[in-house]
Structure 1
Amino acid sequence: MRPIDASEYAGPSSPPEPGAAPMLQWIKVEDLVVDDAYQRPIYGAGRSNVRRIAEDFRWSKFAPVIVAPVAGGKFAVIDGQHRATAAALIGIETVPAQVIIADQVEQAAAFKSINGQVTRMHKLALHHAAIASGDASAAELQAVCDAAGVTVLKYPKPVQSLEPGQTLALGAIVQGLKDFGRETVITALQCVTETENNKPGVLNGQVLRALFATLGGNHAWRDAGGGAPGGVRRHRPGAGARGGPSHAPPEGCGRVGGPGRPPEGRAPADHRWVRAAA
């Protein structure tokens, strides 16, 4: 773990005025109100989000709602309308809240700031968070990548900064698993990582989608190669660059620039041919 460190940041151009310190307290859901002057109604994706929160409700995933006291002993919800609605949906009567003192103008400004200054999480970071949380789908994808000697990065990097075996093409791998299955994806990845093709930037979406489609559409090519009885390649789950000894990749997974057409019963030998075939 690492500490919070702001030493590398430039300070504000002028001293901030933080205002009154907020209070933390539990508030009854029935005392929460929504000001339509600045809040948005819940519809479409918002309604789906309420349902997802309710179906997987845990206090560890519930951030306190941010509210301001208004007339009639009520509290205007500045942030957390969807969370509070989900809590009401499953019968929870009180929720934790951060109470700030703000008139309607400042409430609207707070709503704009809170919702407009969100650091959007990249899908790569979310994937690694899913692995840490024990998500089964993320763990399966990680196992596939481990078997093929592939590292899915945690954040985007320029292509020229990548190392062999590293990839940003998470979406392509996810879709490949859905469309073609574990064995095809592992073999396709090994066509890069266990051959002369294993160079920075080769594990990109265009190449991977072409390999998945080509090998997934012809299992004879996928299973061709040495190292298994009868010359047919059999991938062993967990084996590979990080899981111990593995069979050689299909013989047809040659270097980029090899023959333009695959031999009979062999996998494509040239990524240029693979792209054309896909």
Structure 2
Amino acid sequence: MLNALSTAKFSALKSELNAGPVPMLQWIEVEKLVVDSGYQREMSTRGQSNVRRIAEGFDWSKFAPVIVAPVEGGRFAVVDGQHRTTAAMLRGFETVPCQVVQADRAKQAEAFAAVNGHVTKIQPQQIFYARLTAGDPQALAIAEVCAAAEVSISRKSLGRHRVRKGQTQSVAALQQCLDKFGRDTLITALQCITQTGDGNAGSVRGKIVEALCLVLTENPQWRDAGSALFEAMDDFDFIVTWDEVMVSATSHLCQPVVPEIADRIRKHLSRKFKPAKRAA
């Protein structure tokens, strides 16, 4: 769905406007771009990995204009966009689109801090839906698993008491479990939550799902028990388990959460699936 931009939700601005000179948009040769080490961060190992990622999937539709400011010698200081400019260079491009702002060195540093310090954090769920719209295979696989288990990935972060049955924010954990344990085990683990009790709203949490996957992988006879598994899990209290384990983990620093949850699930199912007595 396409929605028009709107300012209806905002109250009137109180500050006077002093936006500075209107910037120019132009393509500039990368050889004319320089980095001021006085305020620019040195490219870290993580930054180098980011450059390689951009270069590997280089696409102009994903390339925001580089913010630059004129400096002496006909050159331009990069205020924002060092990584993507370096990636463009790796791909052999000699020019990049730039937004040229009029700013002295102090103003450049201020702009750098503003651009990199006041960034709205994009939630993993938002990235997931963007990838899903783009037809990303991994996102499509997660969506298929969720549909089979009656799970939905919320588009925004929700407080515990606002999460409905089947809703989750743990998209990264779902991807990790899918990669590690496989589609069928993950679906069954999710169904152990959504298809038991009252639906266990707020319990489709990454660590709980991982613990379930771990136990079901270790005990394929339970995983393949069908409706008997869900009946066995029907009276397992995920919320109480989560709260008790998290309190314990807080009081005992570094106590691993997933193994503890897995141990409680394992003991619960061991009581439910008692070995059949041998005939005399």
Work out whether the TM-score is over 0.5: yes
Shift of 1:275: 6.6
* TM-score (normalised: structure 1): 0.82
> Which position in structure 2 is the counterpart of 1:130?
131
Shift of 1:277: 7.1
Is 2:254 aligned against 1:274?
no
> Which position in structure 2 is the counterpart of 1:78?
79
**Structure 1: which amino acid aligns with 2:121?**
R
> Which position in structure 1 is the counterpart of 2:12?
11
- Alpha carbons of structure 1 residues 56 and 272: separation in structure 2 relative to 1, 3 Å: closer
* Superposed counterparts of 1:87-106, under 5 Å: 87-106=88-107
> Which position in structure 1 is the counterpart of 2:110?
109
Contact kept, 8 Å, 1:144 with 1:182, in 2: the verdict is: yes
Equivalents in 1 of 2:208, 2:45: separation in Å? Answer: 36
Is 2:218 aligned against 1:217?
yes
> Which position in structure 2 is the counterpart of 1:189?
190
**Structure 1: which amino acid aligns with 2:9?**
E
**Bigger CA drift: 208-217 or 141-150?**
208-217
**Structure 1: which amino acid aligns with 2:226?**
G
Is 2:159 aligned against 1:161?
no
Contact kept, 8 Å, 2:223 with 2:229, in 1: the verdict is: no
Q: Deviations over 1:2-34 (max 9, x none)?
A: 121112212333212001100101101111111
Equivalents in 2 of 1:276, 1:36: separation in Å? Answer: 58
* Superposed counterparts of 1:144-159, under 5 Å: 144-159=145-160
Shift of 1:200: 1.6
Equivalents in 1 of 2:34, 2:170: separation in Å? Answer: 44
* TM-score (normalised: structure 2): 0.81
Q: Tell me, what secondary structure is at the counterpart of 1:149? A: coil
Contact kept, 8 Å, 1:24 with 1:97, in 2: the verdict is: yes
> Which position in structure 2 is the counterpart of 1:263?
none
Q: Tell me, what secondary structure is at the counterpart of 1:27? A: strand
> Which position in structure 2 is the counterpart of 1:40?
41
**Structure 2: which amino acid aligns with 1:157?**
L
% identity of equivalent residues: 45
* Superposed counterparts of 1:21-60, under 5 Å: 21-60=22-61
Contact kept, 8 Å, 2:195 with 2:230, in 1: the verdict is: no
Contact kept, 8 Å, 1:223 with 1:250, in 2: the verdict is: no
- Structure 1 spans left out of the alignment, 5+ residues: 227-247, 258-270
**Structure 2: which amino acid aligns with 1:91?**
G
Q: Which has the higher helix share?
A: 2
What root-mean-square deviation, in Å, do the aligned CA atoms of Structure 1 and Structure 2 show? 2.2
Equivalents in 2 of 1:276, 1:171: separation in Å? Answer: 27
Equivalents in 2 of 1:80, 1:91: separation in Å? Answer: 17
Contact kept, 8 Å, 2:27 with 2:98, in 1: the verdict is: yes
Count residues in correspondence: 245
Shift of 1:250: 4.5
